[in-house]
A and B are shown apart, each in its own frame.
Chain A
Amino acid sequence: MEALILQVLNGLDKGSAYALIALGLTLIFGTLGVVNFAHGALFMIGAFCAVTLNRLLTLSHIVVDETQKDFLGNPLNVEVPYLYDFFGQAAGDVIIDWSVPISILVAIPVMMLIGVAMERGLIKHFYKRPHADQILVTFGLAIVLQEIIKYFYGANPIPTPAPSAFTGSFDFGAALGFDPNLIIYPYWRLVYFAFAAVIIGAVFAFLQFTTFGMVVRAGMQDRETVGLLGIHIDRRFTIMFGLAAAVAGLAGVMYTPINSPNYHMGMDFLVLSFVVVVVGGMGSLGGAVLAGFLLGVLESFASMGQVLEVLPGLNQVILYVVAIIVLLTRPRGLMGRRGVMED
């Protein structure tokens, strides 16, 4: 029982990450009809926004400490962040400690800008091209982006911890009346879950309740008619691309404390996010979110030791098994619309 509750929690948290990434991807699919293989790269760049801000905040000047020796026996160069000079050590430490949440503020404009630049500079020219060409060009772009990151940051993962206030975990078990320590969950993951819920809600509200969103939704249904009505749909689509990039980027920023970011984390998530989107059904935002949570929960169950004893290797293939079953029983995924990317 406790084990199941725990895995549901786990699954919801995993699912929130999947849903967030898939949401951005399906926004681009749905609005622009573009297969964006560079979406994982956007997620990765978001994570590196956090890394970069952390680097900037800890930008240091060197003070030579004669009392300590470095590995070659020379006096040790101690790095002192400039932040200490401005705010004093205590306040400086707090700012550095909170660098991940602070990066959200940086990441939104940066990612919007990257998204808009990408759409105007490259994607725009591929609306009328076959999907194969879109795949090739966005895949090429993804490689270029991740190689640039690798050039500057190396291939090793870079630790980017959450603020120390969020270390440790919350004891759900004790709160629900079970024995302590049975159902625990890290604070940061709870924050991630809440954050994902807010972002997903905001995107839906934006599309549902604003005129802008209404036009975009209309454009997703029938781009030509909206154009004929004299609405400048292209500019709105550009903004949507920026928005999708920002959603992917924010998912990346908040993910950094969970997994230390590295340059190929985007590729690691790429296949997964496509599976989520397709299981949810092409062109359906709700489907993407639903599929994200569904796959997250099922993946968590499949990773339980008791399950693996019966079906060894299930944790290796669960996502794909679910994808195959869903696609065979529901031809267009959970909530897909007819005729979207079926040819």
Chain B
Amino acid sequence: MQIAKKVQLLAPSGIRAFFDLVLNMKDVISLGVGEPDFVTPWHIREKAVFSLEKGFTSYTSNKGMPELRREIANFLSHRYGINYHFEEEMLVTVGVSEGLDLAMRAILNPGDKVLVPEPAYVSYGPVVELAGGKPIYLKTGIENRFKLTAKQIDQACTKGVKALMINYPANPTGASFTRKELLDIARVVKKRNIIVVSDEVYDELTYDFEHTPLVSLPGMKKYVIYLNGFSKSYAMTGFRLGYACGPSDVIAAMTKIHQYTMLCASITGQIAAIEALKNGFQDVADMKREYMRRRRFIVDALNSIGMTCHNPEGAFYVFPSIKSAGVNSLDFAKNLLQKKKVAIVPGVAFGKSTEGYVRMSYASSYENLKEAIRRIAEYLGKPYHSATA
């Protein structure tokens, strides 16, 4: 069949082949996954099971069940002091991924430019392109701990720039913004009058300071499309559930697209999400504590075997440098997989300019992390002793 040009041009690249290689390999220790290693807490699963038993298997309102939207509104208001009206300013989506896509399709006209950090989550560029926009990649590096700066955004706001995408804590680098950094960004956003699509799905996994939603800063509500979801905080990736909040006009536009293309998020996931918001507070705290320990371990361990690694402020990824290995990130990942059966994601998967780094997920048991580090050390020919290094 003749495939649309736009789709043909979307980058699949060598990464796809690497992914297929990993997926088909057995007995791999994987630090390559972008999801929690925890199972969804039982009380949440139990609600989902019970709802199926009771026969809740229908469509819901396009925007999502009112009870869920009320809970989300409640949660945001208590947690962050953000006030969104559950009817006018909120839409339940199929993961944050759908939210990103809807946001782009709702705001972009052909040729509109969108500022996208690099490295960034893999879908950012493609959803802009699919919506007819043009991504402008803003390179970030270790010198600023992989964070966009207000100045960088300001300078990139040339003619035709309509929006900015940010993600913090970030996949793949774990970088996050402090309140002060966000205040600087907010000033530029107002000055340049651009829309910010803020993907804050890792918000609960912020370790060194309190997470500040960009939209919670004074006067930002009219600039921000706030995206969040249940995948990371409550280990609910497979439920596919997220939400978008923003000014009523943009939410109405996103809802219009959503009702034609998705209809609604699954009712089972929505019911599970209500339970997560009502009673999941302790689960989040427990998982966060566990991730913090693993972060300490893996950052120390990587640095001790010569893979320079900054301390990520959030999420469950480390983004160490592989420069000492003297190969590109794809080859590094391939070799490590084939020789030592450890799966990681090459940095180049997150942006063409992102060479010299790899993403490792520490959403894996301590035992697994230890073994993975042992094998990586062996691969690099570095000595490693788990307790003394």
Q: Do A and B come from one complex?
A: no
Binding site for B on A (CB under 8 A): none
Chain B residues in the interface with A (C-beta under 8 A): none
